[in-house]
Amino acid sequence: MIKTSWDSTSTAFRQFVSGKQAPVIMQVLPSLNSGGVEQGVIDINAAIVKAGGRSIVVSNGGARVHEIVKAGGVHIQAPVHSKNPLTIAANIRRLRKMIRDYNVDVVHACSRAPAWSAARAVQGTSARFVTSCHGAYALGGSLKKLYNSSITKGERVIAVSHFLADYLEQNYGTDPHIVRVIHRGVAVEKFHPNSVTPERLIRLSGEMRIPDGASVILMPARLSRIKGHMFLLDAIEKLGRKDVFCLFLGSDKHEGYRRELDSYIASKELGPQVRIVPACDDMPAAYMMATVVVSPSLVPEGFGRVPIEAQAMGRPCIATDHGGMRETIVRDETGWLVEPGNVAELAAALDEALNLDARNRAALATRAMSHVAAHFTNEQMCQGTLDVYAEVMHNAGARRPSNDAREKRAAKVAAE
């Protein structure tokens, strides 16, 4: 069961801080730009420092490096993003030197390429090794599966959802006893309706040219076919309402798909009702502008931050009924779950969300915000992660009793 008090759940980590030397944790990831993995690393970096430990983050750099340093961590730039076998081999030497120079206690690999180097770098040192899995990677052929398997090699493997814990167990034979499910979290002090001032809403609405009086359908996601932009457009067309305005908010790195998406919008004569915006520096305000938030991914998300951020902001949220999003939305209580690709079902959910009266909209917001506060806060994510670090430092290779859901999973495996 997840506890909510920082002091009560960080005791395991703090016992190491009370020693002569603060524990040193090294997180390794490809880069520090936008994304859920990056946000998690930044949050955990701050939590390590706050708990009295020393935090080192190794990446190839990026726009968010300053957030590591500002929170009191150390950033070291290295080409750990590379999939080139020669570079991976060189990274083993680089990381091993860092581990010894900084007396690192725990190395946490947050992605596949860094995991290959980090797993070998800890050999011959006293550092413990932890990995985390953030997505259900396509299996492909045997070589692809071998490449993906690096994320399963930690003494403890953090899965960001029970969906991913099942994925690891079923596809890689990962021992369920070493898996720890730690859901991603949201900073509820930042993602809260009261945190957004009217001035921020006015500014952002003007920048994004939101039509006055429109009901806003917000879809925050990078421009990628698997994210379901066209699925949402089909549902909007079926909805047949001229008073809605759809805002696609996400990075535009695939010019070919962007052109295809523009053509698709034009073919449905939805041009005046749809806008694509590549970036936003104020996501809480963007959520507050939304009448409904949609996450219509066509493939299962490992977790999906959009639903918990939308619920934290008290916005009605619709997501596809698969992957980690099944764990973040309580069906018909805090939001809607629809069948992937089912246009009629998505259109019906949109119609219901758009037609909520003030009373029902407020009731849904209260349920959604309470749900996030109880299960998906940044503090809970950081506490769980620090507890994993403490676990491997305290008794490497030992099995600790896990949360209720994980115990049930282990019992199921034993019975089979």
**What's the pLDDT at 416?**
40
Give the separation between CA 321 and CA 298, rounded to whole angstroms: 10
Domain ranges in the chain are 6-185+377-415, 193-375
**What's the pLDDT at 138?**
78
Which superfamily, per CATH, for 6-185+377-415? Glycogen Phosphorylase B; (3.40.50.2000)
The per-residue DSSP string of 106-145 comes to EEEE-SHHHHHHHHHHTTTSS-EEEEEE-S-----SHHHH
Give the separation between CA 125 and CA 107, rounded to whole angstroms: 11
Please return the burial class of 281, using the count of CB atoms within 10 Å of its CB with bins 0-12, 13-18 and 19+.
exposed
Residues 6+ apart with CB under 8 A from 52: 14, 17, 22
Tracing tokens 């009261």 back to the chain, one arrives at 194
- Asked whether the beta carbons of 39 and 75 are under 8 A apart, the reply is no
- Asked whether the beta carbons of 222 and 193 are under 8 A apart, the reply is no
CA angle 250, 29, 126 (to 5 degrees): 160
Give the separation between CA 19 and CA 349, rounded to whole angstroms: 55
For 188-220, what is each residue's pLDDT tens digit?
Answer: 999 999 999 999 999 999 999 999 889 999 999
Q: Do domains 6-185+377-415 and 193-375 have the same CATH topology?
A: yes
**What's the pLDDT at 409?**
42
Give the separation between CA 65 and CA 42, rounded to whole angstroms: 9
What is the chain's mean pLDDT, rounded? 89
- Cα separations in angstroms, 320 against 63, 206, 349, 360, 369: 31, 30, 11, 22, 20
Considering the entire predicted model, what is its pTM? 0.86
**What's the pLDDT at 142?**
82
**What's the pLDDT at 308?**
96
**What's the pLDDT at 322?**
96
Rg of the chain (C-alpha set): 22
Tracing tokens 């083993």 back to the chain, one arrives at 92
CATH class (in words) of the domain with range 193-375 = alpha beta
For 17-50, what is each residue's pLDDT tens digit?
Answer: 665 568 999 999 999 988 889 999 999 999 999 9
**Closest among 309, 334, 39 to 191, alpha carbons compared:** 309
For 112-146, what is each residue's pLDDT tens digit?
Answer: 999 999 999 999 999 999 999 999 887 777 888 88
Which amino acid appears at position 356 of this protein?
L
**What's the pLDDT at 1?**
28
Q: Which regions in the chain score pLDDT beneath 50?
A: 1-9, 396-416
Please return the burial class of 79, using the count of CB atoms within 10 Å of its CB with bins 0-12, 13-18 and 19+.
middle
**What's the pLDDT at 326?**
95
- Cα separations in angstroms, 246 against 27, 217, 290: 38, 5, 9
